[in-house]
Structure 1
Amino acid sequence: MQLTPKITQILNHLETIQPFNPKDSLDGARKYLETMSLQLSGKKESVAMIEELSIQQDNHQIPVRIYRPHGKEIQQSSAIIYIHGGWFIAGGYETHDAVVRKLANKTGSVVIFIDYRLAPEHPFPAGLNDCIDGINWVFKNAESLGIDPDKIGIIGDSAGGALATVVSTQLGKQLKFQILIYPAADNQLNSKSWETYENGPVLNKQGGIDAWAGYLPEEEKGNPLAIPVLIKDFKETPPTLIILAEHDPLLDDGKQLSLNMENAGVTLKTSLYKDMVHGFMHMGDLLEEMQLAVNEMADFAHQNLKSDE
């Protein structure tokens, strides 16, 4: 494994992060992701407006944050649903704020960030249901949100990539595109890349085993709605871009998902970012590849939204 000096610098820094006063290992993992994102994402771009609201469900609320980009009229905007990563157990507004701001400005689309319920407090299918219910709410309220319901796509990273993949098999005909960033596609963790990168960088196998155990109830272990590599029916899936990182234990799982989609006839582009590690989208302070990936995602969004930009 040949790592670039910048990646080595980042990994050395990650080893120094000490989450502040964690209550337990789960709290520590959540605080670690927040700290990493805060320290490595770089300066946050300003956007025109950020709104927070909650979608009322029968027995809980789904928080959402709406990012409106600079230089756009509010009415009839294109939109992107963002589903965040964090091994299904971590992540939220603050961990992905810098990434989402960049995506909003570069795509010119309103970005709607769904803060779904996390495992292990809320195992599968709670988070998935929140994503589906949240997206249905966006379509139902598109006019009042100033969104064109015929110009909506979805982006998910890591665990959010798994959730987005499944969402697209359910709602895909409504979505104009899908972008999956190093998706967590399989719970087996037995691929060649998992063998190579069992102890990292960034992710490690034991952390993955613990995360899937908290997310996936025993009776759901063969459910393709939880495990994207088991999906056979991709007929609803819109044109898809998959972004993979070379030094990532999830690399082979992402490749397998890509192959499954290709064999099912999905309109597909797969991009491998050489020298990159899992989570490089949070490392924009040091890695120009983060901006290159944002540019690629924006180009893909524009092509599939047929926008006027």
Structure 2
Amino acid sequence: MALFEGCFAAGVVGTAILTYRFFAFTMPPQAEESVKRRFLLLFWWILGIWTKLRLKFSNKHEMQLTRMNIPPRPNNLDTITVEDATFGGVPVRIYRPKNAGDHPLPGVVYFHGGGWCWEVWGGYDEILKAFSQLKEMVIVSVRYRLAPENPFPTALLECFAVTQFVLENTQILKMNPENLTLMGDSAGGNLAMAVMVKMLSSPEEMPQSLPNFRKLVLIYPALQAVNFKVPSYQKYRGSNVPSILSTELMMKFYVAYALGMETVDYEELLRNSHWTDEVEANYHKYVNIENLPASSRDGAEISSSPNIKNPGLAKKVNKCFLNPLFSPLLAHDSVLKGLPDTYVLSAEMDPLRDDSFLLVNRLNKLGIRVRHRHWDGMDHGFLGVPSLYVNCHKGWREIVEYLVEDS
């Protein structure tokens, strides 16, 4: 009887805690599909508690313990063929419509998200199959190696190797060399932008005879690790934010990608304590809060400068953070002027929101044809949850509509 009463009491307490957490997440008025999001965030919170418990008894890096190894599902579609291969020494998965024959199709090279740390490559399987069905195209999805075991520039170099292989072999892959798109989401958006920057800033590595990408698609990309005092980073801090990606988690991703198994004081990063005179002189213009639209400033202070600088922190992180291949928003204007037509998707409830606004502002000034689709009622990662969000399907359809324009 005592055991039953104890279990019952524990159940009541547990239910009360979960109910409190369910309603504790701060949902702004414009949040869409908020009930579904609360369930997802509750699962995320439970996963975080479990990870903290495991960390107490493990010598592994936090990113290793939270890594989700999602295997690809068996192909159950009659209209899509799926093939695993290796391009440039890097594993890839190729999606191709079955009825395409030998006719060359539009081609997409896709880099998955997951903070450069999480093995979520297989979780994109159903999405990319559906994407390939919406418009007949050949998609190459890249399985790059992950941080913290493989820090920067491993993922970038592997994505670049696959990109180069695809451009050199469009005929074999039955891709239309005049209709190629480079695409990625979140950390994959960072990699897509960084690959473009590397191609444009190192033309000697890309033979002139190779085709060019016609379009670049960046889905809530991570573009700069310099100014963490932009409003979106400050707004979406803490455990009650309406997004699976909090500012604190993004800091951990950046540091794992830059430093591998080493860690730093994340709070100091959020105060921009890694700033130096070099940052102020050469890079502030690219990440200046004044370049954001008034609606995104949220009444934030305009100054990005830290109250106290930490030279030790700067020495540790800025070798990566100030590299345009790590923070592609820092690339020189002469490089960005070579970008193809660009589609940028951002979500309001996302610490990375302002990166997109800063990029769009800059590309507009440079005369690049850029389309910015901002989802005011959605959060980071919503395009990756087709079973949960109706807007996931709508978002992918809009991207397809963009790709078929002028084709």
In which range does the TM-score fall when normalised by the shorter chain?
0.7 to 0.9
**Are 2:230 and 1:130 aligned?**
no
* TM-fit CA distance, 1:75: 3.4
More deviation, 145-154/1-10: 1-10
Closer, same or farther: CA 140–163 of 1 in aligned 2, 3 Å:
same
**Are 2:389 and 1:287 aligned?**
yes
- Residue type at the aligned position of 1:181: I
- The equivalent residue for 1:191 is 230
- The equivalent residue for 2:220 is 182
Deviations along 1:69-99, whole A, 9 cap, x unmatched? 3543343111100011111112343122122
Aligned to 2:336, the other structure's residue is in SS state coil
Task: Output the CA distance in 1 between the equivalents of 2:127 and 2:229.
Answer: 30
**Are 2:259 and 1:229 aligned?**
no
Alpha carbons 2:96, 2:132 under 8 Å: kept: yes
- The equivalent residue for 2:112 is 84
Alpha carbons 1:151, 1:175 under 8 Å: kept: yes
Alpha carbons 1:170, 1:236 under 8 Å: kept: no
Alpha carbons 1:182, 1:254 under 8 Å: kept: yes
Q: What does 1:132-281 align with in structure 2 at a 5 Å threshold?
A: 132-171=160-199, 174-188=212-226, 189-199=228-238, 200=241, 201-217=243-259, 218=317, 219-232=319-332, 233-281=335-383
Task: Output the CA distance in 1 between the equivalents of 2:320 and 2:78.
Answer: 42
Alpha carbons 1:47, 1:67 under 8 Å: kept: no
Task: Output the CA distance in 1 between the equivalents of 2:109 and 2:348.
Answer: 26
- Residue type at the aligned position of 1:91: E
Task: Output the CA distance in 2 between the equivalents of 1:274 and 1:34.
Answer: 29
- Residue type at the aligned position of 2:235: T
- Residue type at the aligned position of 1:266: I
- The equivalent residue for 2:35 is 5
Aligned to 2:255, the other structure's residue is in SS state helix
Alpha carbons 1:83, 1:156 under 8 Å: kept: yes
Aligned to 1:213, the other structure's residue is in SS state helix
Alpha carbons 1:157, 1:182 under 8 Å: kept: yes
Closer, same or farther: CA 154–211 of 1 in aligned 2, 3 Å:
same
Task: Output the CA distance in 2 between the equivalents of 1:156 and 1:224.
Answer: 17
Deviations along 1:138-181, whole A, 9 cap, x unmatched? 12122121222222111110011111112223447710101111
Larger Rg: 2
Tell me the TM-score normalised to structure 2 length: 0.67
- 1:27 corresponds, among 55, 58, 64, to 64
* TM-fit CA distance, 1:244: 0.8
- 2:129 corresponds, among 97, 101, 107, to 101
* TM-fit CA distance, 1:34: 4.0
Alpha carbons 1:67, 1:112 under 8 Å: kept: yes
Alpha carbons 1:181, 1:244 under 8 Å: kept: yes
- Residue type at the aligned position of 1:195: Q
- 1:54 corresponds, among 74, 86, 108, to 86
* TM-fit CA distance, 1:211: 1.6
Aligned to 2:161, the other structure's residue is in SS state helix
Tell me the TM-score normalised to structure 1 length: 0.86
Q: Which runs of 5+ in 1 are unaligned?
A: none
- Residue type at the aligned position of 1:234: L
Task: Output the CA distance in 1 between the equivalents of 2:86 and 2:142.
Answer: 10
- Residue type at the aligned position of 1:49: T
**Are 2:49 and 1:15 aligned?**
no
Deviations along 1:205-230, whole A, 9 cap, x unmatched? 23222221121253222111110221
Task: Output the CA distance in 1 between the equivalents of 2:155 and 2:229.
Answer: 25
Closer, same or farther: CA 227–52 of 1 in aligned 2, 3 Å:
same
Identical residues among aligned pairs (%): 25
Aligned to 2:66, the other structure's residue is in SS state helix
Task: Output the CA distance in 2 between the equivalents of 1:226 and 1:89.
Answer: 15
Q: Which runs of 5+ in 2 are unaligned?
A: 1-27, 201-210, 260-316
Compute the RMSD of aligned alpha carbons: 2.5
* TM-fit CA distance, 1:293: 0.8
Alpha carbons 2:246, 2:350 under 8 Å: kept: no
* TM-fit CA distance, 1:255: 1.0
